[in-house]
Amino acid sequence: MSVRILALVGSLRAGSHNRQLAEAAVKHAPEGADIQLFEGLADIPFYNEDIDVEGSVPAAALRLREAVAAADALLLFTPEYNGTMPAVLKNAIDWLSRPYGAGAVVGKAVAVVGTAFGQYGGVWAHDDTRKSVGVAGGKVLEDVKLSIPGSLQRFAETHPADDAEVAAQLTEVVARLHGEAAAA
């Protein structure tokens, strides 16, 4: 069964290692897993109930909601900023959590992975992201974890797609996410 997985990257930087990690997931996705990278998180305004009304929802937020609604699962890639997830990813989750109880993320299988400069690879950000998307209604795969430390050194000369260990780990994450979404 083909499973549509939407990837959201919590870094807006052009040379982001998390963006590269998402590209590696696309390249090494197992058969039956179709991963699409969502473009446009930078265009979404901060969540505000005053603009989240029918007929007034910003086009960028509406596009995000539609992309998530059309997906079978979500794969979130996040760096760690000051010990937590970046605002752009939290904002996306906030838009996806509405309307309360019926947001686009409700019931979707979700895995959270990423890389960061520090020695723990962003585990605090990953934990916070799992918590936030779980509260928003996502079906978080709590035991699916991949936090790659030392991103600046590890990926200084090697794209994550060309790192055999990372490629194998990403393939396993995507396979688990695929299995969960296919069983739903």
Q: Is the pLDDT of residue 169 over 90?
A: yes
Alpha-carbon distance of 35 to 111, in angstroms, equals: 13
Burial annotation 30-49 (CB, 10 A radius, 16+ → b, else e): eeebebeebeebeebeebee
What's the mean pLDDT when you consider all of the chain?
96
- Residue 54's CATH number: 3.40.50.360
Give the model's confidence band at 1: pLDDT under 50 very low, under 70 low, under 90 confident, else very high.
confident
2: helix, coil or strand?
coil
Q: Structural domain tally of the chain?
A: 1
Angle at 68 between CA 38 and CA 102, to 5 degrees: 150
Q: Give this prediction's pTM.
A: 0.97
Per-residue pLDDT tens digits for 97-141: 999 889 999 999 999 999 999 998 999 999 999 999 999 999 999
Domain, as residue range, for 144: 3-183
The answer to whether 114 touches 10, Cβ cutoff 8 Å, is yes
Give the model's confidence band at 22: pLDDT under 50 very low, under 70 low, under 90 confident, else very high.
very high
Within a 10 A sphere around the Cβ of 29, how many other Cβ atoms?
A: 21
Alpha-carbon distance of 134 to 110, in angstroms, equals: 9
Alpha-carbon distance of 68 to 65, in angstroms, equals: 5
The mean pLDDT value for 168-173 works out to 97
